[in-house]
């Protein structure tokens, strides 16, 4: 797993509309919360996404955006976003290349670890959380990211 202070690896992945999107593109408008999750429509991942949805106004007010990554298809992401009214981008990493680059591949290559990174506009990781089954830690992480962003806008 990448650590605070490291440079976030560049990537390009399809979003829920199958449009190719890059890390550089997202960072062109400032810092992001980049979160990795195992699968659309699972109870834990749905709870995590809905927490982020419910915090979205505060996230935007802080000048941040949220980008989620999991191995499901763009079509699955589109259905997931629509069903739960998710206001952020979901990227499809079906080959798990980016998941591996960020060190969040599951044990023995199975699954995806639940992790979030705060990445600033210069591609440096400012904070990170690994919380596999502790969804509440992600909400705490995002609230902390909002406070960090307010104290140090970049």
**Is 1 domain-assigned?**
no
**Is 7 domain-assigned?**
no
Calculate mean pLDDT across residues 140-150.
Answer: 84
Q: Is the pLDDT of residue 151 over 80?
A: no
Enzyme catalytic residues: 45
**Is 5 domain-assigned?**
no
pTM, full prediction: 0.93
Calculate mean pLDDT across residues 19-29.
Answer: 97
**Is 4 domain-assigned?**
no
**Is 68 domain-assigned?**
yes
**Is 107 domain-assigned?**
yes
Structural domain including 129 reads 12-151
DSSP strands (E only) in 18-148: 20-22, 32-36, 65-70, 89-92, 115-119, 125-130
Question: What CATH number should be reported for the domain holding residue 127?
Answer: 3.40.30.10
* pLDDT (tens digit per residue) in 32-44: 999 999 999 999 9
Closest CA to 56 of 85, 80, 77: 85
The number of folded domains in the chain is: 1
């Amino acid at each position: 797993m990448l650590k605070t202070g490291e440079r976030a690896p560049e990537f390009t992945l399809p979003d829920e509309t199958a449009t190719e999107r890059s890390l550089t593109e997202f960072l062109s408008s400032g810092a992001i919360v980049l979160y990795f999750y195992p699968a659309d429509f699972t109870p834990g991942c749905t709870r995590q996404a809905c927490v982020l949805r419910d915090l979205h106004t505060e996230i935007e007010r802080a000048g941040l955006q949220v980008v989620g990554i999991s191995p499901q298809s763009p079509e699955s992401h589109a259905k997931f976003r629509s069903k739960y009214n998710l206001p952020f981008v979901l990227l499809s990493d079906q080959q798990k290349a980016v998941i591996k680059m960020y060190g969040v591949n599951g044990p023995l290559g199975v699954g995806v670890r639940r992790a979030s990174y705060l990445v600033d506009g210069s591609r440096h990781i400012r904070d990170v959380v690994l919380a596999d089954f502790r969804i509440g830690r992600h909400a705490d992480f995002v609230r902390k990211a909002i406070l960090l962003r307010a104290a140090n806008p970049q």
